[in-house]
Structure 1
Amino acid sequence: MNTEKEPLGRAEAEEYASWFKALADGTRIQIVSLLARQREPMSVGEIVTAVGIGQSTISHHLKILSEVRFVLVERQGTSSLYRINEECVSCFPTAADVVMGNPVPAMPTCQ
């Protein structure tokens, strides 16, 4: 267990770093914001239209966001729908608090 004066454990630090890296791009922030506000699954085409960036770029960003579980993918036949992972995204403010030295809560489990 970490105390105030000890750094985060390596596994925790790596997990939080992957979250920060995933959000270190303006387009990915736009996608997360869009999906969080939409509150229902969206196709790549709908996201492309809303964000105004090409399909291949959006697909690339969605892959990164899904790898850290901020975005969940629902396959429907040959297409995919994307939605925000409410459980995982709700952990993110906790990550920022922990990195900034606030009390360490139980490690979030983002499925």
Structure 2
Amino acid sequence: MNETTPLGAEDARSFAGWFKALADPTRIQLLHLLACADRPMSVGEVVERAAVGQSTVSHHLKILAEARFVLADRQGTSTFYEVNRNCLTVFPDAVRAILNQKGTGGEC
């Protein structure tokens, strides 16, 4: 039987924020779009490739950036977004922590 290690309140809040940020199909699609592009994209480029409008894209990218799933780089009047691969790589550790399994550790 595994010894239970309590999940700290700070980790629980972080993990909940991550899951909440991913709890929308449009955000998952935007992450996939950015991951496939494998380069920073402007909001305009994302809008051209997504089936949603500019304000919706901006709203969802803001949420993803707050959760650090995407990185935003402001260049003049444009903001370029790219997937934060480091963050997505450690995301499975949140699931392992919830299941009380050992993970590789890391921070998003």
TM superposition score normalised by structure 2: 0.90
1:33-71 per-position Cα deviation (integer Å, ceiling 9, x unaligned): 111121100111111121210100110000000001111
Q: Which amino acid aligns with 1:51?
A: A
Runs of 4+ in 1 over 3 A off after TM superposition: none
| Residue 82 (1) aligns with residue 61 (2) | no
Aligned to 1:22: 21
- Percent identity between matched residues is 51
Aligned to 1:91: 90
**Contact 2:5 2:100 (8 Å CA) reproduced:** no
| Residue 61 (1) aligns with residue 60 (2) | yes
How much does 1:109 deviate? 2.3
Number of residue pairs the alignment of both structures matches: 107
Q: Any stretches of 5+ residues in structure 1 without a counterpart?
A: none
Aligned to 2:107: 109
Moved more, 42-51 or 97-106: 97-106
| Residue 8 (1) aligns with residue 34 (2) | no
Aligned pairs for 1:34-45 within 5 A:
34-45=33-44
Alignment partners' CA distance in 2, 1:109 and 1:93: 11
Alignment partners' CA distance in 1, 2:92 and 2:26: 20
Give the CA RMSD over aligned residues: 1.5
